[in-house]
Amino acid sequence: MSKSENYELSDSQIKGGLKKALLGSIELAGYAKDILERNGNASLSFGLYFFAIEEYGKYEILRECLLDSVKRHLVSKDVFDTKKSKVNFKKALNALPKEIHEKLPIRLSSDSQSEMDCFYLNWDHENEKWKVPPKIDSSQLLESITAFERHASMKLDTEYDSQSSVKPL
Q: b or e along 2-13 (b: 16 or more beta carbons within 10 Å of the residue's beta carbon)?
A: eeeebeebebeb
Could you give the angle at the alpha carbon of 54 between the alpha carbons of 117 and 138, nearest 5°?
55
SS3 of residue 161 by DSSP? coil
pTM, rounded to two decimals:
0.81
pLDDT in tens, 66-114: 888 788 888 888 888 877 667 788 888 889 998 887 887 766 544 455 5
The pLDDT assigned to 131 comes to 79
User: What mean pLDDT comes out for the span 40-46?
Assistant: 90
Q: Measured between alpha carbons, how far is 25 from 58 in angstroms, rounded to an integer?
A: 9
Residues 126-139: pLDDT tens digits? Answer: 889 887 777 888 99
How far is residue 25's CA from residue 149's CA, in Å, rounded to a whole number? 8
